[in-house]
């Protein structure tokens, strides 16, 4: 097979529906938060089907920040999470002057090891942020049970998890306090940049809505579309500028309709890879349980010790063979800010460290053709020196 074309690690899947909706918003004259943002929120609530409150924001980072502020996290508090995540998960804790307390991961799932959470709880612990790595849900039954026992809040980082399930229920409908989704360009559905806060708690919902737009207690859409004088508003707190605009929401309206179709395509690619790689010197990603749904945001393999190349050389050689790969993630305790602020050592989280040193994310996205997947498989065989 020719390697003349380069297959990128990820590409968004944007159709005419999204494009036409964005054009409609541009022509309407309403391009900030307005009717499309509201519709996307309503559609998302209907998608989850549990009467939840949905608050659209301009990023999942913004959503996590608002969620933690709304549940009362403040300076001196501690919040338990995983070091095997993007820095945003932990940085929002620091925004509020609190301390992230890292708990090592389960070596098979890459998710937080629930058997190690209780040992990390102190008198200062206020919340747990589980991260559903790669689209495979955490053991939410165990996490929620621990949280209830110690009177802790649970804020799910579901950036990878649409439409994953736990306990045969969609993430976002469980008994956690808040769930936050990401719609970044590479995610399972995209608005370019954007996120969604999901909560059943009316007080949390109201606080997030107020704080996402400067602490103003009025919806800008209502103020600017009323046929009567309706200009007055109040500021109830020093809020943030975290609202989603209608151009992004226009994409989200149609991406959401495709969420299960996208998941099916990603799962088909994952199963194709699993079959192709089963006799190679690598570990394929864990599957969801029979009654659960894996979102397959990422397909992360791990090289075994008898592989002919190391992780970094594997990625370089894959690129030379026309296939883009990535690494998810560099554990936070290795990064300068977190390492120096909390005096972390390399082996403080041995499972996270071991997985990181072997982990490679292969392309898995819905625009991939059979030719594309064959190219990935052929390149993996070639790089590992297997005929």
DSSP for 159-202, written as a single string:
TT-TT-EETTEETTSSSSSEEEEE-BTTSSS--BS-EEEEES-H
Query: Could you say which of 39, 116, 153, 187 is catalytic?
Result: 187
Among candidates 245, 124, 266, 259, which has minimal Cα distance to 193? 245
Q: Which two tokens stand for residue 147?
A: 């949280």
Give the Cα separation of 350 and 333 in Å (integer). Answer: 11
172-208: burial string, b at 16+ Cβ within 10 Å, e else: bbbebbbbbbbbbeebbbbbbbbbbbbbbbeebbebb
The answer to whether 187 is a known catalytic residue is yes
Among candidates 106, 136, 133, 108, which has minimal Cα distance to 288? 136
143: preceding bond cis by omega (within 30 degrees): no
H or E segment and range at residue 209: helix 202-211
Q: Which residues are catalytically annotated?
A: 187
């Amino acid at each position: 097979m020719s390697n003349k074309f380069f297959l990128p690690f990820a590409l968004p899947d944007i159709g005419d529906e999204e494009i036409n909706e964005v054009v409609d918003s541009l022509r309407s004259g309403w391009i900030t938060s307005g009717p499309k943002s509201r519709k996307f929120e309503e559609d998302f609530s209907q998608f989850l089907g549990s009467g939840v409150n949905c608050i659209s924001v301009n990023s999942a980072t913004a959503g996590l920040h608002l969620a933690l502020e709304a549940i009362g996290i403040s300076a001196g508090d501690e919040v338990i999470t995983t070091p095997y995540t993007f820095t945003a998960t932990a940085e929002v804790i620091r925004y509020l002057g609190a301390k992230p307390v890292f708990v090592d991961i389960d070596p098979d799932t890459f998710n937080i090891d629930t058997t190690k959470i209780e040992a990390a709880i102190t008198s200062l612990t206020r919340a747990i942020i589980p991260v559903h790595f790669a689209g495979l849900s955490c053991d939410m039954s165990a996490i929620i049970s621990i949280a209830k026992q110690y009177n802790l809040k649970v804020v799910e980082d579901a950036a990878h998890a649409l439409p994953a399930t736990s306990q045969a229920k969609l993430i976002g409908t469980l008994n956690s306090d808040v769930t936050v989704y990401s719609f970044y360009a590479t995610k399972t559905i995209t608005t370019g940049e954007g996120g969604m806060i999901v909560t059943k708690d009316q007080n949390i919902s109201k606080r997030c809505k107020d704080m996402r737009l400067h602490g103003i207690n009025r919806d800008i859409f209502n103020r600017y579309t009323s046929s009567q004088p309706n200009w007055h508003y109040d500021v109830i707190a020093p809020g943030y500028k975290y609202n989603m605009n209608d151009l992004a929401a226009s994409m989200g309206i149609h991406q959401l309709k495709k969420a299960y179709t996208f998941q099916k395509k990603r799962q088909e690619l994952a199963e194709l890879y699993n079959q192709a790689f089963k006799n190679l010197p690598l570990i394929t990603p864990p599957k969801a349980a029979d009654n659960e749904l894996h979102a397959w945001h990422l397909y992360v393999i791990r090289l075994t010790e008898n592989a002919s190349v190391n992780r970094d050389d594997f990625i370089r050689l894959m690129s030379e063979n026309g296939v883009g790969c990535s690494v998810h993630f560099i554990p936070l305790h290795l990064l300068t800010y977190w390492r120096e602020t909390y005096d972390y050592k390399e082996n403080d989280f041995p499972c996270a460290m071991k997985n990181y040193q072997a982990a490679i994310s292969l392309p898995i996205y819905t625009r991939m053709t059979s030719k594309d997947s064959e190219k990935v498989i052929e390149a993996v065989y070639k790089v590992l020196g297997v005929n």
